[in-house]
Amino acid sequence: MRMIARRLGFYLVTAFVAVSVDFWMPRIIPGNPVDAILAKMQGVSITKSTIAALELQFGVNTKASLWSQYVHYLAQVLHGNFGISTSNGFVPVTTVIGGALPWTLGLVGVSTLISFCLGTVIGALVAWRRGSWLDNLLPVTTFFQAAPYFFLAFLAIDLFSIKLGWFPSGGAHQNLDFPGLNWTYLSDVLDHAVLPALTIVVASGAGWIVSMRNVMITTMDEDYVLIAAAKGLRERRVVWYAARNAVLPSVSGFALAIGFIVSGALLTEIVFSYPGLGLLLVNAVGDNDYALLQGIFLIITFAVLTANLLADFVYVFLDPRTRQEA
Amino acid sequence: MAPGIAARQRALRLPRSPKIVAGLAILGFFVLWAVIGPVVAPYSPDQNFANAPVPLPPSAAHWLGTTALQQDVFSQLLVGGGDTVLVALVSGVIATALSVGIGVTAGYLGGLADDLLSMIANIFLVLPALPLLIIMIGFLGRSSSNDILVVGVIISITGWAFGARVLRAQTLSLRNREYVDSAKIIGEKWWRIVATEILPNLTPVVATSFLFTVLYGVGTYTALAFLGLVNPNWSWGGMLFYAQNSNAEISGYWWWFVPPGLAVALLGTSLVLLNFGIDEFINPRLRAAGLTRRAGRKAGRRPEFALTAVLKTSGGQS
């Protein structure tokens, strides 16, 4: 468990860095964020106290020292106070994010899981059957690795939604209000999630295929695999032994990949008008809603760190060596 | 064998891999495109043509049809390559310089410096890049985010960490080699040892990390342009931005979004191919076995399970 403790410490430091980035960004980059917000808010009546609150948040016209501002900021974040969203009728940022977060978590979480499992299995198969027709998958994966997520999303909509009419082209559900958790609603939600999920699975799966194949090929040349085969174990069993060991780098590489996948998934959401954080993020930039922008960045970072921690647990579960130190 | 010949053979061995040849060819094509695209474009990308209410499909006058504003898609496509390639190169060069500087320093110095630099690299790796870039651009504001060089620089800030990590690991494995020890005993300065003993051995790794960051730059610049955050000139991402704003994907105007998307994907594919080619050069086992298997059958050997056949063929494929 020392490994988990060490990783946990690292994630806490990273979370602290993300919070600090949010604090220092408006103070280091030249320009006056409050003026920019107010410029976007023309026509909306703003009270003096709102302006004062904004100035406090971004460190404009304040006499307090940077240090005391920083401490104050950290305390606010610790209490879950991320400020108010100027483009959403001055409700707290956490409320706005809370409405969008479940959609993103559901979509990205499930499709990342599917793509990891599917990609790893396919990668192991390609390595096992090296030299067969499966090798033809490799150039295809090269293309999908390089193609932008949102371009694949365009193609998915054009093909499966417009030409074939199988799935809806955007949104997360048909009903405007929430009818309760019944089957009609759930199937509608699933129906809307298929194409965005497919896009994310195809785009991110290619990377898992390649990394699994490459490690698997090296692993299959190891002596213990040769011995397993020489002992006369069934071929499936031997491949299983090799695959169990070959999957470790993919799991530990999860940390690197998840950032890319989340970035791509946010773009996919935008193409599908999916009501998640991606759409929120882009609208926030357009409206100069800095508090919301910062809040989304923090939430996404926290989610990515949590996903990493889960991957660490899986790693400890898969690799007995990490459990043996004690 | 004279050392000169050996060196030349080493230099020649790389381009023989089909992946490297294909990757270099496509990449060369796109670089050429970026340079002469604006010159050979039949029209100005901003010029408005026929006063039609909807985008027109490909025709003799407009090879790739028109946009909703009746601009020529083919001309936009030709002009749009320059920015993408330039930003990707700028961010690739800066990020690689950063990753070599930080990764090699960390790996060579070890100790506290290594702990600190590795920590910074790991933090940058875990922080989600796109949201970070978006808030940076949000605070920078329109004026500076429309400067291509600024965009290249901020992309490189989020793109160096992966290379640094790989380079650090490689440097660690080189640090205690005998030739490095002997250079230390002679009393060479540490930066001289790094420059003359360690860096030359890192060349393939530096090359892959450069290609990786260029690929990252292409994808990220296209993404930012697609979001409408950086659109100083015509770019492929920008074309996709306008296409999406006009609902081209829902209306079936494929000629508007397929060409720029394919261009980005193909440019990216060439970089991935080159990267794979270099990976296979470093680790020959990764090659797809099609060729070796055929050669194996010719040599009367059946490929056995769990073994990589090592065969010498006359074509110098090994």
B127-165: per-residue pLDDT in tens? 888 888 888 888 887 666 677 888 888 899 888 988 898
**Does residue B302 have a pLDDT over 50?**
no
Q: Report d(CA A195, CA A166) in Å as an integer.
A: 10
The pTM of the whole model exceeds 0.90 = no
The pLDDT confidence band at residue B12, using thresholds 50, 70 and 90, is very low
Of residues A323 and B308, the one with the higher pLDDT is: A323
Percentage of chain B surpassing pLDDT 70?
80
Give the per-residue pLDDT at B92: 92
Q: Establish if B77 touches chain A: CB-CB under 8 angstroms.
A: no
User: Exposure of B291 by Cβ count < 10 A (0-12 exposed, 13-18 middle, 19+ buried)?
Assistant: middle
Does B272 sit within 8 Å of A146, measured CB to CB? yes
pLDDT recorded at residue A114: 92
Task: With a cut of 60, say whether residue B34 has pLDDT above it.
Answer: yes
Cβ contact B306–A238 (<8 Å): yes
> Closest chain B residue to A158 measured between Cα atoms?
B249
pLDDT at site B311: 47
Q: Rounded CA gap, A136 and A142, in Å?
A: 11
Output the six-digit token pair for B65.
Answer: 């049809």
Measured between CB atoms, does B80 come within 8 Å of chain A?
no
- pLDDT tier at B3 (50, 70, 90 boundaries)? very low
- Chain B contact for A256 (CB, 8 A cutoff): yes
For residues B297 and A165, the model is more confident at A165
Residue A285 confidence (pLDDT): 82
Read off the pLDDT of each residue in B212-235 and give the average, rounded to a whole number: 86
Nearest CB partner across the interface for A29, out of B122, B140, B244: B140
A198: closest CA among A235, A121, A144, A137?
A144
Q: Are A248 and A318 in contact (CB under 8 A)?
A: yes
Question: Residue B303 gets which letter from DSSP?
Answer: P
Contact residues on chain A for B226, CB-CB shorter than 8 A:
148, 150, 267
**CA-to-CA dists, residue B90 to B121, B206, B236, B264, angstroms:** 20, 16, 17, 17
Q: Give the integer Cα–Cα distance in Å for B203 and B154.
A: 25
**Cβ within 8 Å, pair A148-B264:** yes
Mean pLDDT along residues B273-302: 64
Cross-chain residue pair A147–B223, CB shorter than 8 Å: no
Amino acid at A203: A
How much is the CA Rg of chain B, to the nearest whole Å? 24
- Which residues in chain A have their CB less than 8 angstroms from residue B229's CB? 285
DSSP state, residue A273: T
Using a CB-CB cut-off of 8 Å, the residues of chain B touching A170 are 250
pLDDT tens for each residue of B63-122: 777 776 777 778 888 888 888 888 899 999 999 999 999 988 888 888 888 888 888 888
- List the structure tokens of A178: 């929430």
- Which residue(s) pair with A92 in the sheet? A84
pLDDT value for B287: 67
| Alpha-carbon Rg for chain A in angstroms | 24
Mutate to test the interface with B, among A154, A209, A285 (most CBs of B within 10 A): A154
What is the average per-residue pLDDT within B16-42? Answer: 83
Which regions in chain A score pLDDT beneath 70?
A: 30-31, 41-45, 59, 61-62, 172, 174-181, 324-326
* Whole-number pLDDT of residue A136: 75
H helices of A129-165, in order, are 137-146, 149-156
Q: Identify all chain A residues contacting B285, using CB atoms and an 8 Å cutoff.
A: 217-218, 221
Which residues 13-52 of B have a C-beta within 8 angstroms of A? none
Confidence (pLDDT) at A91:
81
Q: Is A135 on the interface with B (CB under 8 A)?
A: yes
- A241 φ, ψ to 5°? -60, -45
Longest dimension (CA), chain B: 78
**Which chain B positions have a beta carbon within 8 Å of A286's beta carbon?**
228
Instruction: Spell out which residues of chain A touch residue B208, defining contact as CB-CB under 8 Å.
Output: none
CA B222 – CA B225 distance, rounded (Å): 5
Q: Name all domains of chain B by residue range, CATH numbers in brackets.
A: 3-298 (1.10.3720.10)
